[in-house]
Amino acid sequence: MSVLEDLRLRGPVLTASGCGGTGRELAPYVDLATLGGFVTRSITLAHRTGAAGRRIVETPSGLLNAVGLQNPGLEPFLARELPWLHQQGARVIVSIAGASPGEYADLAQRLAVAPGVSGIEVNLSAPDQRGSGVYDVREPFHAGSVVSAVRRETPSRVPVLAKLRSDVVRAVEVSRTVAEAGADAVVLGNALPAAMPDGRPARLSGPAVGPLALRCVAQVCQQLPALPVIGCGGIATPADVRAFLDAGAVAVQVGTAQLHDPMTLSRLITARQEDA
């Protein structure tokens, strides 16, 4: 449990960013205090209304999404959502996204001192449309500079997690870069770049991406054994959780499966308890 304790996690099963609502919608189906951690949807400095039109489309074994970082912005999040989550006894890990390293740093600075924040997850897998053309946060160099900007603003008692996409070619390289920049752990991976049937950019998640994420987790765990890895991608069953932990992950995040069946997290946590 010691790595989990260092990361201030309560167990190995967490929500994945963007699939747990504000927490209130999830609470009827799982006791938030039993989650290893509740990862919020990505919070930006200012309020974002998200994408217009059709946002999610089913594909065989996956969901395509183009939600577009809809969130209330930092201040309303701090005022209304965070205190409630904290009251429920949830370990809150705030996912952050910005259009520049400066925006990430500002977010980290405010969140690091907010009561009830157990960790910060830096969303480095989805390029922010507002920053596009300026920098792509998925590039190792940019990912590293974002993480060091966040680390500088975050006291060492608050862990910083870097969330990367499952890029089998560069997972080890990006992981090493963000670890050197001060990330306490990496989260591998996230929805992968894809397209809606009408050609709009979208991202694919669900069972289809699970094996890719597992490959990245295994690679990073082998080559960077000192770096804690949290697996994310296509996890729906106790066997999936086991596969990621066996590959060396210290914890997993569950997203798309929770949209298909709101009891998934609750079931996985019970299964882990029975396993233990």
Partner 1 sequence: MSTPSTAPTGPVHVTGTVLTTRAVGAYTHLTLVAPGIAERMRPGTFVAVSVEGQLLARRAFWIHRVRHAGGHGMTLEIVVEQVGAGSRWLAAQPVGAKLAVTGPLGRPFALPKRDADPVSCVLVGDGHGAAPMFLLGERLRERGAVVTMLVAGADEAHLLSALEARRSARSVTVVTEDGSVGSRGRVADHIGEVLRRAAADVVYAAGRPSVLRDVAEAAETHGAWSQVAPELPLTCATGLCQGCPLPVVGEDGVARTVRSCYEGPVVRGDRIRWTELAP
DSSP letter for each residue of 139-180: SHHHHHHHHHHHHHHS-TTS-EEEEE---TTTHHHHHHHHHH
Nearest CB to partner 1, comparing residues 25 and 180: 25
Binding site for partner 1 (CB under 8 A): 18-21, 24-26, 28-29, 41, 49-52, 54-56, 58, 60-63, 65, 67, 70, 206-207, 256, 258-263
Query: Are the CB atoms for 230 and 253 separated by under 8 Å?
Result: yes
As measured in angstroms, the least distance from the Cβ of 203 to partner 1 is 12
> Shortest distance, CB of residue 56 to partner 1, whole angstroms?
4
- By beta-carbon proximity to partner 1, the closer residue of 69 and 150 is 69
Give min distance, CB of 35 to partner 1, in A. 14
Smallest gap from Cβ 31 to partner 1, in A, equals: 10
Residue nearer to partner 1 on the CB measure, 25 or 246: 25
Nearer to partner 1, 134 or 263 (CB): 263
Identify the three-state secondary structure at position 264. Answer: helix
Count of CB atoms situated within 10 Å of the CB of 262: 14
